[in-house]
Amino acid sequence: GQSLEQPSEVTAVEGAIVQINCTYQTSGFYGLSWYQQHDGGAPTFLSYNALDGLEETGRFSSFLSRSDSYGYLLLQELQMKDSASYFCAPQDDKIIFGKGTRLHILP
Amino acid sequence: EPEVTQTPSHQVTQMGQEVILRCVPISNHLYFYWYRQILGQKVEFLVSFYNNEISEKSEIFDDQFSVERPDGSNFTLKIRSTKLEDSAMYFCASNADSNQPQHFGDGTRLSIL
């Protein structure tokens, strides 16, 4: 079967660092994508890990361990505009979205 | 940066009518997808499309739905005889290869009255 686990909510302070963890179980797996979605908006692609290790894109980094079926998204120097929902998305021939993690940023 | 574009941004339709949602995927992409998101719920996969045929479809994608690539740039989702529960955001996505990340359009908000 398929399953996806990430925290439902995370709260952090502006300027801080936050890590959103994800564990998954899927039948097929090419890699792990991360998407950001603001209320009423579209999923915006943030990062993709096809191989184990860390991928860095500006303030955002993503990590994957295939053997552990685990990944995380690291957001640094948090800004108020980072308040949104974040989705880890195991990818095979389609994306399976979970309920995501709602990130609240406090000033 | 190239992007997926969707039209219209908002479609209001009477129940029972047909709607066509349009998408222009990124030009060098070969794999196309439709997803929907009912208000307050998670994004759900509807269908994937490659080489002019459906690759995979979810159980949501029943006979009421169809997809088409009418020309070299557009990718459409048709919903026949719309129902109230079809009201949702519909997102189109594309990628260059099925193992590459998908890029989403801004979506079409479909409201069925």
Give per-residue pLDDT as tens, A16-74. Answer: 999 999 999 988 888 999 999 999 899 999 999 999 999 998 999 999 999 999 999 99
Phi/psi of residue B73, nearest 5 degrees? -130, -30
Range A37-76 burial, b when 16+ CB lie within 10 A, else e: beeeebbebbbbbbeeeebeeeebbbbbeeeebbbbbbbe
Q: Cβ–Cβ of B104/A96 closer than 8 Å?
A: no
pLDDT at A8 over 80: yes
- Nearest residue to A8 via CA among A76, A74, A67, A88: A88
User: What band does A1 get if pLDDT is binned at 50, 70 and 90?
Assistant: low
Identify any residues that bridge with A19 across adjacent strands, giving them in sequence order: A74
Q: Cβ–Cβ of B102/A45 closer than 8 Å?
A: yes
> Which residues from A are below 8 Å from B103, CB to CB?
45
Q: Cβ–Cβ of A45/B101 closer than 8 Å?
A: yes
- Residue A9 to chain B, least CA–CA distance (Å): 15
- Work out the number of other CB atoms within 10 angstroms of the CB of residue B50: 16
All residues at 6 or more sequence positions from B41 whose CB lies less than 8 Å from its CB, including other chains:
none
How many Å apart are CA A5 and CA A36, to the nearest integer? Answer: 16
- Residue A92 to chain B, least CA–CA distance (Å): 7
CA distances from A11 to A20, A43, A44, A60, B1 (A): 11, 20, 21, 17, 32
- Under-50 pLDDT residues of chain B: none
How many Å apart are CA B12 and CA B54, to the nearest integer? Answer: 27
What angle is formed at CA B96 by the lines to CA B55 and CA B108, rounded to 5 degrees? 70
